[in-house]
């Protein structure tokens, strides 16, 4: 259990994030659960901006799993090449689309277990889809949130799994879906990995992390 002092600090950070980011638009452009799932798969080791440039080209050809499996893996790879890791991502997108069609009636499954069983879909990707497409409480922890949680003294997690558990214990469940986006927005604006100026960071300057 987190200490009362740490809980108080977490609540103060959450209040500040609410003030700075009352609205939390999802950074990856999408139309439904399927297009979000594909966009999140593409976002691995790639910026959201780049993904948002590429997905309209891909979704113009196939914005549902039935149409995606009609494309070849090579066709998908050519379109998504600028996102990096295109050989593995194109196979994963084609294969997960086939499974969604054959095993889930063409609908993205609404459980962590079924999502994580799909090719190219890890726990973080499943958490993003569950929280942002289906509204299920989840706390997707990527490398940025992992870094910020450590920098702010909210977690001593050596891996994202431990950090996720720590953050879930600190913050109310009904705030998780919004909070993980607020932390990402804050990190980009005030608390970058490189060139971080403590005095310009509303959290690090206040809590002396």
Segment 6-39, tens digit of pLDDT = 999 999 999 999 999 999 999 999 999 999 999 9
What is the model's pLDDT at position 85? Answer: 97
Rounded Cα distance between 69 and 101, Å, is 9
Every domain of the chain with CATH number 1.10.1670.10 lies at 4-24+138-207
7 HSE (CA, 13 A, CB side): 6
- CATH code for the part of the protein at 33-132: 1.10.340.30
At residue 111 the predicted structure's pLDDT band, cuts being 50, 70 and 90, is very high
Rounded Cα distance between 165 and 95, Å, is 31
What is the model's pLDDT at position 164? Answer: 97
Q: Give 34's contacts (C-beta < 8 A, 6+ positions apart).
A: 63, 64, 65, 100, 108
In CATH terms, the fold of domain 4-24+138-207 is Endonuclease Iii, domain 2 (1.10.1670)
For residue range 41-65, list pLDDT tens digits in order. 999 999 999 999 999 999 999 999 9
Contact 145/183 with Cβ under 8 angstroms? Answer: yes
Nearest residue to 163 (alpha-carbon basis) of 180, 185, 178, 177: 180
pTM: 0.93
Whole-number CA gyration radius for the chain: 18
Average pLDDT of span 178-195: 95
Taking phi over 0 as left and psi of -120 to 50 as alpha, with beta for the rest, 183 belongs to alpha
Quickly count helices (H) and strands (E) in the chain.
12, 0
At residue 208 the predicted structure's pLDDT band, cuts being 50, 70 and 90, is low
- DSSP-derived letter for residue 105 is T
What is the model's pLDDT at position 209? Answer: 61
What is the model's pLDDT at position 207? Answer: 83
Answer yes or no: 124 catalytic: yes
Every domain of the chain with CATH number 1.10.340.30 lies at 33-132
Q: State what percent of residues in the chain have pLDDT above 70.
A: 99
Is the pLDDT assigned to residue 113 strictly greater than 70? yes
Taking the CB of residue 137, how many other CB atoms lie within 10 A of it?
A: 14
Average pLDDT of span 103-129: 97
Q: Which of 9, 89, 124, 166 is catalytic?
A: 124
At residue 82 the predicted structure's pLDDT band, cuts being 50, 70 and 90, is very high
Q: Which of 48, 89, 91, 142 is catalytic?
A: 142
Contact 154/193 with Cβ under 8 angstroms? Answer: no
Which burial class, exposed, middle or buried, applies to 72 when counting CB atoms under 10 A from its CB (0-12, 13-18, 19+)?
exposed
At residue 1 the predicted structure's pLDDT band, cuts being 50, 70 and 90, is confident
How far from 183 is each of 125, 139, 154, 186, CA to CA, in Å? Answer: 17, 11, 12, 5
Average pLDDT of span 115-138: 97
Which burial class, exposed, middle or buried, applies to 166 when counting CB atoms under 10 A from its CB (0-12, 13-18, 19+)?
buried
């Amino acid at each position: 259990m987190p200490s009362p002092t740490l809980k108080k600090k977490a609540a103060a950070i959450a209040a500040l994030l609410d003030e700075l980011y009352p609205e939390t638009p999802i950074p990856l452009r999408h139309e439904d659960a399927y297009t979000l799932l594909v966009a999140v798969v593409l976002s691995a080791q790639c910026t959201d901006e780049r993904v948002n440039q590429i997905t309209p080209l891909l979704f113009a050809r196939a914005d549902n799993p039935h149409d995606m499996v009609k494309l070849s893996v090579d066709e998908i790879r050519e379109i998504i090449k600028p996102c990096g890791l295109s050989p593995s991502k194109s196979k994963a997108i084609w294969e997960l689309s086939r499974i969604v069609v054959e095993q889930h009636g063409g609908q993205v499954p609404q459980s962590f277990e079924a999502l994580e069983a799909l090719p190219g879909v890890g726990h973080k990707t499943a958490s993003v889809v569950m929280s942002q497409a289906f509204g299920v409480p989840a706390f997707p922890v990527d490398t940025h949130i992992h870094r910020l949680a450590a920098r702010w003294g909210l977690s001593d997690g050596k891996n994202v799994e431990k950090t996720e558990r720590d953050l879930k214990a600190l913050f109310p469940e009904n705030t998780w879906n919004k909070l993980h986006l607020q932390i990402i927005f804050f990190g980009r604006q005030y608390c970058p990995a490189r060139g971080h100026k403590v005095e310009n960071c509303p959290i690090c300057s206040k809590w002396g992390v």
